[in-house]
Amino acid sequence: MKRKRKKRVKTIFVMVLFIFAFFIVLKAIRSPLEVANRLNEQDSYDNVKKYEPFLRKELAKYQLQNYTPTLLAVMQQESKGEGGDPMQASESAGLKPNAIQNPEESIRRGVKHFQRALTYGKKEKVDFATVIQAYNMGIGYIDFVKKHGGKHNEQLAKQFSLIQVHKKPDQYNCGGDKHNFRYPYCYGDFTYSTKVMENIKSITASLPASKNQTDGSF
């Protein structure tokens, strides 16, 4: 009887040791992965952060330097800081997509486009999410939202997108790809404001406190 009890205790002890060892090994495996994931997340903003000084300088011309994190977040969504038109400002300037091939010119145009949307958005008393979405969908989106309560949501963005699609169905057709997540709302990206707001949070958290003066709101 005692022998059986000892054997049972020994078995339980071995199981506890095994479980303990399993969690130690699991933690050892996860720790490098977690560090790598954090580094990858941080590195994903490096391309846009290199433009931070020039972007801040351009925004200061309109006394809007507090919106630097916001415009970095917009750039991240537009291009991840890559290419000659990192703010994807060509179309807002009335040019063909990617016609601008000078990053500084792109930033100047992008800042001007944002300043117009911000000024008009404040005048029409819409929320900040509407202003962000207007960077993607144009100033007309501000008028549309004002007529529908003054606050952006993705359903309104879809409705506005469809209106533009019906005007130029051959142009705004997601390249004919019906599997595109935007289809059939192929004018702009109805999720744009949501994505930029998430970028703002991440970039704001990673910028030095002295450069982190706003969370991207009015």
pLDDT, one tens digit for every residue, the chain (218 residues):
555 555 565 666 656 566 666 666 555 555 554 544 554 455 689 999 999 999 999 999 999 999 999 999 999 999 999 999 999 999 887 888 889 999 999 999 999 999 999 999 999 999 999 999 999 999 999 999 999 999 999 999 999 999 999 999 999 999 999 999 999 999 999 999 999 999 999 999 887 765 555 555 67
Yes or no: say if 157 and 145 are a contact pair by the CB < 8 Å rule. no
What does the radius of gyration of the chain's CA atoms come to, in whole angstroms? 25
Q: Alpha carbon 122 to chain centroid distance? A: 22
Yes or no: say if 48 and 196 are a contact pair by the CB < 8 Å rule. no
How many helical (H) and strand (E) elements, i.e. helices and strands, does the chain have? 9, 0
